[in-house]
Amino acid sequence: MALEDLFQPLTVRSLTVPNRFAMAPMTRQASPGGVPGADVAEYYRRRAAGGVGLIITEGVRLSDPASGYPFSIPTLAGDDALSGWTRVVDAVHAEGGTIAAQLWHQGGQRDDSDGVVPVSPSGVDGTGQPRGRALEANELPQLAQLFATAAATAREVGFDAIEIHGAHGYLLDEFFWERTNLRTDDYGGSLSARTRFPAEVVAAVRAAVGPDFPIIFRFSQWKGTDYAASIADNPAQLRDLLTPLVHAGVDVLHPSTRRHYVPAFPGDADGLSLAGWTKKVTGSTVIAVGSVGLETQFRSEKPGQVIDPAPVDRLVEQFTSGEFDVVAIGRALLADPGWVNRLRDGDLGGFHGYDAATALAALA
């Protein structure tokens, strides 16, 4: 019965997801000129047909060129791009799924090979080295409005929700992280100050989409430049990080972890995952994610290393104990678009894992 509970619907504001499975956002760079084509619509349609209740798209660039590169990453600006996304949304809806657009600003991690200067809180990268330029305080309201405009456009196109990308060392996460936020104004210093701009982005998005449209916020401890990085070292700091985002209008929190079953804080007697602690300190709807359906490391120091995969029973146990409301699956869905339906039908044969490299190859 516990497994069956994962196939029950969930309603958040105007969104009703038919089950508790989401497709995690994964960048593909497969939209020439930022325009998602028929192949992109088919890519997402197959996962919806395979049983995924909520599709979270790959990162979608904001309209400012500094927000992302290469330009084969899709955008929500221009008639051609919007027509492309309409086809994607319609294809997912036709299969009974729902879909959220992930809004993405790469910040200091943006590739500058085209001559565009990356922007970030302090003009340094995740290793502390100078990169790009620091944003001026008077630029921040306009930047928040870029997120808001993209969110409103997503709603007009027919998306069921939006996700704000605040994880993995990209722009909003650069504000959270002490290593990349060296500011001495009201947006730097204490954890509450470092949370201020991401919360202002959320507030701008909420004002743009209205009271009933769901806002998801993805955050992480780990960064692309440092898997051991941490923003919150204990549950109290996690609460201080997330509470301003919830107050600003976030409905769903999506803590990105490399393995969903690993305890969030060393020495924690409760042994809760980051999703579990996120749920406990905020009471919000939570999406768990991290190596569901994988049996090898992804981008580890030892490629191909077996990672002691967690069986589906462990996932069910965490769900039953209230650690999360939705589970996002990434690379396993690349390798097998029908993974969710096969789990429902008992065709997985217990744990059925995929090699991370094989799953990545399916991105193409």
> What does the alpha-carbon distance between residue 94 and residue 88 come to, in Å, rounded to a whole number?
10
* Bond preceding residue 118 cis, omega within 30 of 0: no
Q: Are 275 and 257 in contact (CB under 8 A)?
A: yes
Partnered with residue 285 across adjacent β-strands are 252
3-state SS of the chain is CHHHHCCCCEEECCEEECCCEEECCCCCCCCHHHCCCHHHHHHHHHHHHCCCCEEEEEEEECCCHHHCCCCCCCECCCHHHHHHHHHHHHHHHHCCCEEEEEEECCHHHCCCCCCCCCEECCCECCCCCECCEECCHHHHHHHHHHHHHHHHHHHHHCCCEEEEEEEECCHHHHHHCCCCCCCCCCCCCCHHHHCHHHHHHHHHHHHHHCCCCCEEEEEEEEECCECCCCCCCCHHHHHHHHHHHHHHCCCEEEEECCCCCCCCCCCCCCCCCHHHHHHHHHCCEEEEECCCCECECCCCCCCCCECCCCCHHHHHHHHHCCCCCEEEECHHHHHCCCHHHHHHCCCCCCCCCECHHHHHHCCC
97: pLDDT confidence band, cut at 50, 70 and 90?
very high
49: pLDDT confidence band, cut at 50, 70 and 90?
very high
The whole-number pLDDT of residue 353 equals 54
**Least confident piece of the model among 23-27, 243-247, 288-292, 325-329:** 288-292
Q: What is the pLDDT of residues 115-170, one digit of tens each?
A: 999 999 999 999 999 999 999 999 999 999 999 999 999 999 999 999 999 999 99
The whole-number pLDDT of residue 294 equals 67
Q: Which domains are seen in the chain, by residue range?
A: 2-361 (3.20.20.70)
pLDDT at 347 over 70: yes
**Least confident piece of the model among 222-231, 238-247, 340-349:** 340-349
The whole-number pLDDT of residue 360 equals 44
The whole-number pLDDT of residue 351 equals 43
The whole-number pLDDT of residue 85 equals 98
pLDDT at 80 over 90: yes
Average pLDDT value over all residues in the chain: 92
Q: What is the mean pLDDT of residues 78-102?
A: 98
CA distances from residue 116 to 31, 120, 141 in whole angstroms, order as listed: 20, 13, 21
pTM higher than 0.85: yes
298: pLDDT confidence band, cut at 50, 70 and 90?
low
Residue 278 is encoded by which pair of tokens? 């996120």
- Residues, the chain, total? 364
The whole-number pLDDT of residue 359 equals 44
350: pLDDT confidence band, cut at 50, 70 and 90?
very low
Q: Is 127 exposed, middle or buried (0-12, 13-18, 19+ CB in 10 A)?
A: exposed
295: pLDDT confidence band, cut at 50, 70 and 90?
low
Q: What is the mean pLDDT of residues 69-93?
A: 98
Residue 323 is encoded by which pair of tokens? 């650690």
The whole-number pLDDT of residue 356 equals 45
Q: What is the pLDDT of residues 266-286, one digit of tens each?
A: 888 789 999 999 999 999 999
Q: What is the mean pLDDT of residues 192-218?
A: 98
70: pLDDT confidence band, cut at 50, 70 and 90?
very high
Which one of 43, 44, 69, 170 is the catalytic residue? 170
Q: What is the mean pLDDT of residues 35-63?
A: 98
pLDDT at 223 over 80: yes
pLDDT at 258 over 70: yes
Q: Catalytic site residue 354?
A: no
174 versus 331: the higher-pLDDT residue is 174
The whole-number pLDDT of residue 182 equals 98
330: pLDDT confidence band, cut at 50, 70 and 90?
very high
The whole-number pLDDT of residue 331 equals 87
